[in-house]
Amino acid sequence: MGNSRPSKNNSFAPNKPQTNKSKLFHGQKVYKKKRLAKAQQVEQVTWDTDTRKEYLTGFHKRKKELHRQKVENAKLRDKLARSEMVKDFKSQQKALIAEKIRSNKEYYGSNDLPQSDSDDASSQKNSENKTVLKSNAYVTTISVIEDFDINSEPGLNQPAELLLTPKQIIKKLAK
């Protein structure tokens, strides 16, 4: 009968012819590699106990910190997206208002008063800009006061104690 199992001698060099010397010194080469590996090993690993404890007990803390950062970043992205959306909405509204003003001026006509009195108006404290809008039934005059000073109005220079509250005004009107 033939031998169906490979022999143990074929384990170290199947293509090389095996000599007595290679068989005898093969184990020596293996042990030499093991000795070198053992000599290169670190004899003792020293840990900084505080750092090691922080690392081993800090998994939950680090996970919570990452979660907090992700939530912060998400809020920031939402805030930026919302501000961008508001900015777009405002620009659309401005464009819509400008279009409506233009169409109203075309429909009603824009009869600005001549600015011949502009020298006198600029010398005054409260300069006014007047616009007249005309329709079939009504004439509307719009006056814009540019340098408006609230203290120049009559009755507003009084001390706060002399000004009437809404309840006092109602009582005064009821009399």
20 within a domain of the structure (yes/no): no
Identify whether 142 is part of a domain.
no
Closest CA to 133 of 152, 96, 165, 108: 108
Is residue 94 in a domain?
Answer: yes
Name the residue type at position 116: S
Domain housing 71: 48-110
Tell me, yes or no, whether 58 lies in a domain. yes
The count of structural domains within the chain is 1
Give residue-wise pLDDT tens across range 87-124. Answer: 999 999 999 999 988 888 888 776 553 444 444 444 44
**DSSP string of the chain, one letter each residue:** ----SPPGGGGS-SSSPP-HHHHHHHHHHHHHHHHHHHHTS-S-----HHHHHHHHH-HHHHHHHHHHHHHHHHHHHHHHHHHHHHHHHHHHHHHHHHHHHHHHHHHH--EEPP-TTHHHHHHSSS-EEEEEEE-SS-EEEEEEESS--GGGSTTTTS-TTTSPPHHHHHHHHH-
Residue 61 in domain:
yes
pLDDT per residue, tens digit, the chain (175 aa), is: 455 555 555 455 567 677 888 887 788 888 899 988 888 888 788 889 999 999 999 999 999 999 999 999 999 999 999 999 999 999 999 999 999 888 888 887 765 534 444 444 444 445 667 888 888 888 888 877 666 555 555 555 555 555 667 777 777 777 7
Torsion from C-alpha of 18, 19, 24, 28, nearest 10 degrees: -60
Query: Residue 84 domain-assigned?
Result: yes
Does any domain span residue 23?
no
Of 16, 12, 9, 10, nearest to 28 by C-alpha is 12
Which residue do the tokens 């809404």 mark? 166
Judge whether 172 lies within some domain: no
Name the pTM for this structure. 0.34
Q: Which of these, 156, 163, 129, lies nearest to 143 by C-alpha position? A: 129
Helix 49-57 with 59-108: angle, nearest 10 deg: 60
